[in-house]
Structure formats: structure tokens, C-alpha cells
Amino acid sequence: MTVWLNGALYAPESARIDPSDRGFTLGDGVFETIRLSGGKPMHLARHLRRLRDGAHMLDIPVVYDNAAIAAAILAVISARGLMEGAARLTLTRGPAPRGVTPPVSPTPTLLVVAGTSPLAAASVRAIISGSTRRNQASPLSRIKSLNYLDNVLARQEATRQAADEALLLNTQGALAEASAANLFLLRHGMLVTPSLADGALPGIMRALLIERCGAVERSICPDDLFAADGVFLSSSLGLRIVSEVDGRRVRRNDDRILECVDAAAIE
Amino acid sequence: MTVWLNGALYAPESARIDPSDRGFTLGDGVFETIRLSGGKPMHLARHLRRLRDGAHMLDIPVVYDNAAIAAAILAVISARGLMEGAARLTLTRGPAPRGVTPPVSPTPTLLVVAGTSPLAAASVRAIISGSTRRNQASPLSRIKSLNYLDNVLARQEATRQAADEALLLNTQGALAEASAANLFLLRHGMLVTPSLADGALPGIMRALLIERCGAVERSICPDDLFAADGVFLSSSLGLRIVSEVDGRRVRRNDDRILECVDAAAIE
């Protein structure tokens, strides 16, 4: 295994994050998880655009251009001989003295790791998290930041209930997303997904499903899940069909869903 | 400078956080900032109780007992010959494979650092953040987690407006806290502070002001700031009196406030 950190390749046990890195001390950064297929990162331009959008919101400079980041990913996956799997980019504001105020001239940290990715389950049992809510009133809901603990809490809740995934409500009671995926319904032949205003992360696969399959953004409440003709979760690593929510079966229409997603996933 | 990491002392440049540490990749952990006075950590038992409460909520094991953690803090401050300043404890779920689901048997990371702390300004100009809201509907609002980006965004907004601090509203429009402190008003001789239900972090100094000075928890809206006889911010590192909010002066009653806080701060 090899990782790329701030311009150089390392064995993972040699790569060192400084204890004062604001990614570690405050979750001050953003990340991307990118599917690898045929030895190449999928939809890389979109991932890098989102990474830069998030960095811009947080005012973290990105000191590498897209070609350099692409080369870093390829260096890591070729060192590992990896054809299929997932790469992760992590960008933080870097080491800094104690305190909330960011340093005026940060030295950001950029880390690239990659590995195999377990095959996604064909179908998942989901719960609706009762322990936490997604904050649609924070701009962080619109970037892929390192502040992932609400999602971790929701996933832990799912695990405790022997479910695979948790759906998060926003603070107003509308569904926002799953703990590591966007939420879609199939209704009267149309794909529906929560809007960014409802707290959905602007997922890459979500955007492709909107652009290429005509998915529409609309508020979704828990009852809508059971009225739908199908429910699925999308992420850059693939799609998972939801078989039940809170122990209640939801209808399935796998063929139609798979057809949409095949259309969306083409590079 | 010396830091303590997982049982050993290091020069800071030798201390290494693993790139797969979930504190770094997901903000999956908690921290404490502790005032040092006369070479000793102040209110340490309360800080360790809050650290353990947060770790318990996240299901992160704390493998050191309080005496061991106290010894680690003393080792760091005595290596530095530090009498006054601040120590920080950071506890994370430690290194783990990619993914949201926590490992079944984590190997947590515990880091202790310490340093001098700049003297708090006697008075601060505050803004009310217009860019983000605190999520009182998440249990994370009740622990001191590493997910600190809403506070960072609010502080950045204050800095851009040449202010010192930002107050955060919750998603319902009530004031919750400042970006790195709790909020208090003085009204008719009584101290008032937002409740935990409104999204206030359960601050150590806040608890002391409730226990020892009779401060009461109550919802506070922005207008209340200008009707108050005094407004101040409390944190473990001290108290700062607010001189203006969003460019409007607030009344001051420094003597009464300082008297309360002196009573609360006694070890």
C-alpha cells in the first residue's frame, strides 16, 4: 500500500499527519470518495470541482492543479496495481496553533489514499435516524466536509438495530439523505430526490441522475417512502436498493432503477 | 515543546497521527481545552467527566483512567516549564479502514498538548452569524466533538467584519452560544444563559456560573442582547465582556459580571 501526501509517496506507516493539523483538531477540511474502475478514477472532474467548491467555502487554498491531483491518484493506484476500488482525497487547512480562528497563511494538507472497496450489497435495510438530524441551515450540508459525526451517529444507530443504513431527517422533519449516500424514490415512473435546501449533500451520482435521468428535487417525508414504487440510495461507489425502512417493506422496481443508474454512471 | 500521544512523550515534530485516524478523516472524536494556572490544570475532574460523556455518546473507549490522563497533562506542562496557559486533550476513534461504520474494536488515539494562551481581550465586538446555524437537534451540540466547522465558519465571518467573535443562532432562531464560548446576559441582577436544548455546549465555566452564581437557563433572542444590562462570553480560558453586537453597543456592567465570575472560577 502506498499513499500520497503533500507531493510525495509514502508507505502508509511512514506517512505522518501533524498532531496540530486542523483536519485532526477541528475537522477543518473536505474530502472526496471516488470510484476506481479499470484503473481510472470515475467522474474525476466533478469530484475535483466539488472539492474546490468546498475548499472555497472554507477559504482553504488548493495548491495543486487538477492535473497534479489526477497524477497523484494514478500514482497511488498504480503503485498498488489497483483496477477497481475507491480513492479518497482529504484536504485540510493543515497544521496551526490552537484556536478556532484559521491562520492567515495556512499550509494545507492534501492526502490521497486508495484501496479495494467491498461490493455494495444488492439491497439494504434502512432505518430513519431518531438520534440526530441533518442541519440544512448550515452551509456545511452543501459541501463534503470532514464534519461527519452526525452521519457516524446515524450509522451506529442503524447497526444497533441490525440495519445497514440510516436515513437522516433535517431539522424540519423532511428527509435529507442517508448516512453515506443520497436518497431517491421512484414514483409514477419519475425519480425524486430531496433538494439541497432540504440538506441533501450535492452528490456526484445524484447530479448525474438529475442531468441524465430527469430526477427531480422535491421534499420527501417518511410516508412518501412507503407510497413509492421503489427507494434507492446513490453514492459515487454505486447504488443500493432499499428493501425496508424501520422494519416495514417498501415496494421494489429494481429493473427501472438499474436502467436509470446505468445511464447515469457512464463516464 | 513536548506532546503526549498514546502513552509516550514526543517532540511535536516526531509525534505522528496516522492518515487513517478517524479524527482526521471524519472528525470522529472529542476534545477538551483546559486552563492551566500555577502549573496545574483547572477543573480537571469536570473536563474529564465531559470528555468521557462525549466518548460514551460516540462509543469510543477511553483506555486511560483519570489519574493517567492527569499525569500525562502534568508531564507535558512540566516538560515545558509551563505555569499559565492551556492544555488540550484530543480523543479520537483512532485508525480504521475507509467507511462511515466504526470498527468493532477501535484503537483510540489520545493526544495531550499544552502551550501558553494569549491573554483574552478585556472586551470583544461580536456579530450574530448570518452564514450558519447551530444544530440543537443533533446530540453533538451537547458534547465537545471535533466537528467544529460551523464554529470556524462563524468565526471567519466575524473576522471578515473586523469583529472578534460570532454568536450562533440555532435552527429556530434562538441564540445558542458563541463560536468558542458560552453566552450570558445580565438582566435585573440575574445571569441568564441559553439552555442545552437551545444548542448551548455544556461548558465547564457555564456549569460553574449556574451552580455558584445562580445563572438560569432560558431562551435568548437577539433583541434580548440589547435589553440586557450586560453581555459576556465564558469559556474555560476565561471571560470576555461584549461591548457591541452587529455594530450596536450593548450596556455594560463589568463589576457585577467580574464578581460573579471570580466566584465561579475558584477551583
- Least confidently predicted of A123-132, B8-17, B54-63, B251-260: B251-260
> Quick one: which of B240, B19, B243, B9 has its CA closest to A109?
B19
For chain A, what percent of residues have pLDDT higher than 90? 90
B89 touches chain A (CB under 8 A): no
What was the pLDDT predicted at A267?
A: 67
pLDDT one-digit tens code per residue, B189-212: 899 999 999 999 999 999 999 999
pLDDT one-digit tens code per residue, A167-218: 999 999 999 999 999 999 999 989 999 999 999 999 999 999 999 999 999 9
B152/B171 Cα distance (integer angstroms): 17
Q: Which of A20, A88, A152 is opposite residue B100, by nearest beta carbon?
A: A152
In angstroms, the separation between the Cα of residue A60 and the nearest Cα of chain B is: 12
Q: How many CB pairs under 8 A join A and B?
A: 179
Q: What is B102-114 written as a DSSP string? A: PPSS---EEEEEE
Q: What is the mean pLDDT of residues B233-259?
A: 91
Q: What is the mean pLDDT of residues A11-18?
A: 95
The predicted complex's ipTM stands at: 0.96
> Quick one: which of B21, B79, B151 has its CA closest to A21?
B21
Residue B261 DSSP SS3: helix
Residues of B in contact with A131 (CB under 8 A): 139
B169/B162 Cα distance (integer angstroms): 20
Residue B175's DSSP bridge partners are B169
Q: What is the mean pLDDT of residues B25-42?
A: 97
**Element holding A4 (H helix, E strand):** strand A3-5
C-alpha distances (whole Å) from A233 to each of A43, A203, A240 are 18, 11, 5
DSSP type of residue B142: G
CB atoms within 10 A of CB B222: 14
What was the pLDDT predicted at A260?
A: 75
A61 touches chain B (CB under 8 A): no
pLDDT one-digit tens code per residue, B126-169: 999 999 999 999 999 999 999 999 999 999 999 999 999 999 99
Cell of A169: 431527517
pLDDT one-digit tens code per residue, A144-175: 999 999 999 999 999 999 999 999 999 999 99
